[in-house]
Amino acid sequence: MLDLALLRTFVLVVDQRSITRVARQLGRTQPAISLQLRRLESAVGHPLFERDLRHLTLSRRGEELLRYARELLALHDQAQAHLAAEELSGRVVLGCPDLYAAFLLPTTLATFRRSYPQVEVSVRCALSAVLAEEISDGKVDLALATSMPSVSPRSATTIALRLEPLVWIGAIGGSAHLRTPLPLAMLPEGNLYRDHALGALAKAGRAWQMACTSESVAGLAAMALADAAVTVLARSALPAGLRELGERDSSPPLPPLPPVRLVLWNRLPGASAAVDKLAHHIAEQMR
């Protein structure tokens, strides 16, 4: 029997590419996560990773199991949500930066809609600082945002979600990351991604110039795809045609970046069953 809990841990490790990160996310120890993987290998009867768990390179059987694991978990979550679903209707205005709308929310919103088809969800894309104001003004019910110092709604419940690693991004086969000064495509001033990138470059003594400032992730990705600049995005939001730039890709290497924390702001908990249900659903999917 394939234990769904073991399959879920296996998929998380593959997606996060780190037993350490998965252990923190699940509130367990690294040895406990490693033991779960070994138990799954025992149940399958084949090694799931090449050599050892430090490299996290999937074996042929591991690749095969990953496809089945994703399908099984998706079907399980869909069945569980459907059977637990109640008749619910209403309208929810959900705010989030367009990066999250494009890469983090589609699957979450799709599973929510399957369970609660009578709930209308409208998505408002804006920077986190703008969303904090709009939550306060009653224009947005929920907001998935980046936790930032001195940026929060005047009155709302804050739910801490997961940490998102930030990475340098450049064109596949590009050379923008080798240029001096380093050409950058960044979000506007006041954005934490930008602050972390410029702070890391200053600390490393790396010269840079601003090639593009855009509120749209599509604009940043376009500059990177054209090999006109490098940018900084969450690792889970890597656009097609771009790649993560590692320490060995340039000399001096691009400096490491700290992660950011995702948060969910709920303007009036308890005021709307539809809003509260979507808030719970997002929190469950993104922790």
Q: For residue range 30-53, what is the model confidence (pLDDT) as tens digits?
A: 899 989 999 999 999 998 988 766
Residues 132, 59 within the same domain: no
Residues 254, 270 within the same domain: no
Residues 190, 254 within the same domain: yes
CA distance 117 to 88: 8
Domain stop point among 35, 51, 83: 83
CA distance 16 to 118: 34
Residues 159, 265 within the same domain: yes
Residues 134, 79 within the same domain: no
Q: Looking at the 3D structure of the chain, how many domains does it have?
A: 3
Q: Report pTM.
A: 0.70
Q: Which two tokens stand for residue 50?
A: 């090449």
CA distance 78 to 71: 10
3-state secondary structure of 80: helix
Per-residue pLDDT tens, the chain, 287 aa: give them.
889 999 999 998 988 888 888 887 777 888 999 899 999 999 999 989 887 666 678 989 989 999 999 999 988 887 877 776 667 889 999 999 998 998 889 989 998 988 888 899 999 999 999 999 999 999 999 999 999 988 999 889 999 998 999 999 999 999 999 999 999 999 999 899 999 999 999 999 999 999 999 988 899 999 999 999 999 999 888 888 999 998 788 878 899 999 999 999 999 999 999 999 999 999 988 87
Residues 40, 92 within the same domain: no
Residues 159, 272 within the same domain: yes
User: What is the residue range of 105's domain?
Assistant: 87-163+261-286
Of the candidates 75, 53, 82, 51, the one whose C-alpha atom is nearest the C-alpha of residue 2 is 75
Residues 202, 155 within the same domain: no
Which domain CATH number covers 104? Answer: 3.40.190.10
Which domain CATH number covers 10? Answer: 1.10.10.10
Residues 177, 120 within the same domain: no
Residues 274, 134 within the same domain: yes
Residues 69, 99 within the same domain: no
**DSSP string for residues in 93-119:** EEEE-HHHHHHTSHHHHHHHHHH-TTE
The secondary structure element, H or E, covering residue 42 is helix 30-44
Residues 9, 124 within the same domain: no
CA distance 38 to 36: 5
Q: For residue range 138-163, what is the model confidence (pLDDT) as tens digits?
A: 999 999 999 998 899 988 999 999 89
Domain stop point among 83, 103, 125: 83
